Amino acid sequence: MSERQKRRPKARPRITIGLIGFGAFGRLVAAHLGPLFPIFVHDPACGADGQAAAKGVTLCDAATAGACDLVILAMPVPQLSAAIAAIRPHLRPGATVLDVCSVKALPAKIMRAELPDHVDIIGTHPMFGPQSARGGVKGLKIVVCPIRGPGARPLAAYLRKTFGLDAIIATPEEHDREAAMVQGLTHLIAKVLVEMEPLPRNMTTASFDLLLRAVDMVRYDAPEVFYAIERMNPFAPDVRRRFFALAAELAESLEKNGAA
C-alpha cells in the first residue's frame, strides 16, 4: 500500500434503512431515500412481486429489515405493536427507530413501552402525502419529535439540507394539539364535501378552487388515516365538538333570520 493510500481517509459505511410497510407512503419514502441509501423493505402484503422496483430497494424478511441502522415504521397506528414485535429481536444496539404516523402521542407511548432500551426513538410526521408531494417535497413540512436519544435534531438538520424540507422540532403533545385542528378540521370538512358531490367545477371562485384542491389532496387517503386523525389524537374530540357547536349556532342564527 502506498503512503497516499495509507493517508487517505477510510470511506464511511453507508447507513442501511429498514422500511416496515410498503403502502402508498412507504413507497413515497423509498422513492426519495432509495437513491441515497440501501433500503430493505418488509411488508407481508408485498411478496416478491416486483413492487419494490424503486432504486436501492430490496424486499426482505423482518429480520433483515429490523437489523438495519435506521428502521422506519410506515403503517397505521393499530399495526404498530405487531410490527415492533416482528422486528424487536433483530434490532441492533445503537439503531434508530422512527414512525411516520399521523398522530404522535400514542405512537410515542407504544414505542417507548415496546422497543428495547438499546435503540433510539424518533417520532416523525411528514405533513404531506403522495398527492401533495407529487411535485417534490422541497418546502413541505415535517414534524420531528425527540422521544429517546439525541438523534432528532441531527435528523431534522439532514432533512432540511438534503431535501429542503421545513423540519419542525416539537413534542408529541405539541404536535397533536395543533394537528387536531390543522388536520382534523381539513379531513372533517373534506369528508362532508365529498358526501355533497357532485361539486361545482366550472363556475367557481378562486377561493372555492382552493377548497376543492384541499379536498382532492385528502380524498384518496386510506380510511385508517382519517380514523387516526379523528379518533387517536387526544385533542381532536374537543376541536370537533367546538366546530360542530359553532356550526350549529350559525345554522340556528341563519334559520331565525330567514324566518323573520
The answer, yes or no, to whether residue 116 has pLDDT greater than 80, is yes
* Angle ∠(176,223,152) on CA atoms, nearest 5: 35
Handedness of CA 218, 220, 222, 223 (dihedral sign): positive
The answer, yes or no, to whether residue 21 has pLDDT greater than 50, is yes
Domain with CATH 3.40.50.720 in the chain: 3-170
C-alpha 76: how far from its chain's center?
9
Q: What's residue 10's pLDDT?
A: 54
Q: What's residue 223's pLDDT?
A: 87
- CATH number assigned to the domain covering 3-170: 3.40.50.720
DSSP letter assigned to residue 252: H
Instruction: Output the pTM of the full model.
Output: 0.88
SS (H, E, C) 165-184: CEEEECCHHHHHHHHHHHHH
Q: What's residue 132's pLDDT?
A: 85
Q: What's residue 162's pLDDT?
A: 97
| Secondary structure of residue 19 in the 3-state scheme | strand
